[in-house]
Amino acid sequence: MTTVQISDELHAAARREAERRGVDVDVIVTEALQRFVVGADLHELLTDFSRQDASDPEALSEDEAERVAAEELVAYRRARG
């Protein structure tokens, strides 16, 4: 376990949420960090995708992507029976 220092105001807010949910403050802090890290990872991933799309002259337009997705869905449904 690692000790993390947070402001009194943030600790009080986490304590109120913990009391409201009936869990330990550690649960609230851990969940908040996990959401932040996952959100940051997701943002980085989306940024990478945007960069790749912008640099790829063969990237599909939104309309083309929707058309391909619809075609794939039809093919999947046919294969499923």
19-52 pLDDT per residue, tens: 999 999 999 998 888 887 777 777 777 777 777 7
Q: Assess if residue 19 is contained within a domain.
A: yes
Q: Assess if residue 2 is contained within a domain.
A: no
Q: Assess if residue 1 is contained within a domain.
A: no
Q: Assess if residue 22 is contained within a domain.
A: yes
* Percentage with pLDDT > 70 across the chain: 91
Q: Assess if residue 62 is contained within a domain.
A: yes
Q: How many domains does the chain have?
A: 1
Q: What residues make up the domain containing 49? A: 8-80
∠25-35-17 over CA atoms, to 5°? Answer: 30
Q: Assess if residue 50 is contained within a domain.
A: yes
Q: Assess if residue 18 is contained within a domain.
A: yes
Q: Assess if residue 3 is contained within a domain.
A: no
